[in-house]
Amino acid sequence: MKFFLDTADVDAIRHWNETGLVDGVTTNPSLILKSGRDITEVLKEICDIVQGPVSGEVAATEYDAMLEEGRTLAKIADNICIKLPTTMDGIRACNVLTNEGEMVNMTLCFTANQALLAAKAGATFISPFIGRLDDIGLDGMELIEEIRAIYDNYVYDTEILAASIRTVNHVKDCALAGADVGTMPPSTIEQLVKHPLTDSGLEKFLADWKETGQSI
């Protein structure tokens, strides 16, 4: 499974990119606001750091304006992925921008039917928001499984980009369900490697090594 960082924090992106674990980056208006920076400026800097897709989201909600904003974002860098809402206007804009050779990430997906339409429109990625479904008492992971089955049935190229990941168990379950990508904040990636038995085992090994009086 590919790992995307869900942040507009350039310092964090630079740090995690150096680990070799980062395959791309997703941003949204809320993350741009949190960064306190101009969207074009910050996206350009992120694209210079990361070789993989960097999602930049349009603010428009109507078809013509989505196309205009999407084309503007696409000029920032070759690895910009235009992020569109999964609405009918967004689906239409996706079809046009995809045919123009742009990468498109359809966001705010909450049903398998929405994912089916996005794939038919040629989306590069579909972003089901699993955490937000869990918040309202639904099973976000079930949605990943449904989309995986539909895409496999018809051999769609659209990649499932699991979004709104809240926990390390979300990451594991998405991988088991067959999500192609998981996008998550840096703090979640950091938690993936942690386990108390790893820490205690290392502490014991180091203590025993010290007792040997040796060095490597």
What would the pLDDT profile of 71-105 be if each residue is shown by its tens digit?
A: 999 999 999 999 999 999 999 999 999 999 999 99
The phi and psi torsions of 80 (rounded to 5 degrees) equal -70, 135
pLDDT of the residue at 18:
97
pLDDT, tens only, 105-115? 999 999 999 99
Average pLDDT, the chain: 97
Residues known to be catalytic: 83
Count of residues in the chain: 216
Query: CATH number for the 2-186 domain, one of 1.10.10.10, 3.20.20.70, 3.40.50.620, 3.10.129.10?
Result: 3.20.20.70
Angstrom CA distances, 75 to 44, 142, 171, stand at 10, 37, 32
pLDDT, tens only, 127-159? 999 999 999 999 999 999 999 999 999 999 999
Confidence of residue 122 (pLDDT cuts 50, 70, 90): very high
Q: Structural domain boundaries of the chain?
A: 2-186
Q: Is 38 exposed, middle or buried (0-12, 13-18, 19+ CB in 10 A)?
A: exposed
Distance CA(109)–CA(130), nearest Å, equals 9
Q: Which residues of 175-193 are buried (b: 16+ CB within 10 A; e: fewer)?
A: eebbbbbbbbbbebbeeee
